[in-house]
Amino acid sequence: MRVVVLGSSLYSETGCAVAVRLAQMGCVPSGALVLSTLQRGTLLRKVAQWGLRGVASYARGKLIPHQSRGQHVRNSYLQPLLKHERGVFRSLREVAALYSFPVALCKDQNAPDSIALVRQWSPDLIVFAGGSILRKQLLRVPRLGVINVHLGLLPEIRGMSSPEWSLLKRVPVGVTIHYMDAGIDTGPVLQRHEFPDPAQCGTLADLRNRLIAFGVDKMAEVGSAIDRNAISATPQHDLDRDNQFFVMHEWLQARAAERLTNSRTGVAAGTVSGRF
């Protein structure tokens, strides 16, 4: 099966881990198309997530060689996939050099030239590891479709800040591997997995990082099952219900963090004030 990876950045740890895990499962990518790291939108998104100091530290770790590279893995739960005999993969190009597949940069994965390039790679399946909101023209390219890992259980939790909204809405924390369609997290579901023990996570950031690593592993397993024709998808129900959530206010983030802490310490959930 020919697989193409779409990524949000050349230096995305998640994108690197997805490519490595696919290769380990016997599906070496036929190519990877990633957004340019220096795009204004990408930089603003990372500054909003990590702050200026966090972005600067991350950039130093990826761009400046060090004798000990392990310390520069931002998501430590991905480190087992990013480690290799000479250190840690710092970019998708390093992964591609080891496994021999092409990597291309673009400003928009939906642009005509991007779609033309993906067509040249003749993918049976596209694995989405981040990037643009995909349009129908690109979604129609692979023979089998485009799969994504969503950090929440579908259809209950769609959209942004999924782990936090799962906590607030009292929906089990987990991941869903699904086919992508023109909607937002509305495509047919391949697998749903509840996270084994969210109470072991110290912070929301820790929970998210664990879920990302958990999802990478499950998505690669699903890709292998698709290759063996050993899995089928189930259309989502309740698509007419408003289950889509958005980036949450800091006050709500604090309530979600409180609920995570309560689950770890055994404090009754009723101590969380207000509606949530």
How long, in residues, is the chain?
276
Q: What is the pLDDT of residues 170-229, one digit of tens each?
A: 999 999 999 999 999 999 999 999 999 898 998 999 999 999 999 999 999 999 999 999
Higher per-residue pLDDT: 47 or 152: 152
- Among 3-7, 18-22, 260-264, name the one with the lowest average pLDDT: 260-264
Number of domains in the chain: 1
For the record, the structure tokens of 129 come out as 């590891």
Specify the pLDDT at position 237.
85
- Tell me how far apart the alpha carbons of residues 139 and 182 are, in angstroms, rounded to a whole number: 8
Query: What's residue 239's pLDDT?
Result: 79
Confidence grade of residue 240 (pLDDT, cut at 50, 70, 90): confident
pLDDT of residue 9: 92
**% the chain with pLDDT above 70:** 83
**To the nearest whole number, what is the mean pLDDT of the chain?**
88
How does DSSP classify residue 231? -
Q: What is the model's pLDDT at position 44?
A: 58
Positive or negative CA dihedral for 196, 201, 207, 213?
Answer: negative
Write out pLDDT tens, residues 12-45.
999 999 999 999 999 999 999 999 865 555 555 5
Q: What CATH code is carried by the domain that includes residue 74?
A: 3.40.50.170
Quick check: is 8 in a domain? yes
User: Has residue 48 been placed in a domain?
Assistant: yes
Decide if pLDDT at 274 tops 50: no
pLDDT, position 38: 57
Q: Is residue 276 part of a domain?
A: no
CA distances from 239 to 10, 152, 156, 206 (A): 34, 16, 10, 31
**DSSP three-state, residue 175:** strand
pLDDT digits (tens, 9 = 90+) for 111-120: 999 999 999 9
Residue 42 included in any domain: yes
Structure confidence at residue 56 (pLDDT): 60
In-domain check, residue 152: yes
pLDDT band at 164 (very low <50, low <70, confident <90, very high): very high
- Residue 3 bridge partners (DSSP): 125
Which element (helix H / strand E) includes 129? strand 125-129
- pTM > 0.85: yes or no: yes
62-80: pLDDT as tens digits: 555 554 444 578 999 999 9
Tokens 């033309």 appear where? 116
Domain ranges, residue 168: 3-271
Residue 17 lies in a domain: yes
Q: Does residue 263 belong to any structural domain of this protein?
A: yes
Peptide bond into 163 cis (omega under 30): no
The closest alpha carbon to 72, from 146, 166, 63, 259, belongs to: 63
pLDDT bin (cut points 50, 70, 90) of residue 57 is: low
Computed over its alpha carbons, how large is the radius of gyration of the chain? 19
What confidence tens digit (pLDDT) does each residue in 112-146 have? 999 999 999 999 999 999 998 999 999 999 999 99
At residue 53, the pLDDT reads 63
Percent of the chain with pLDDT over 90: 72
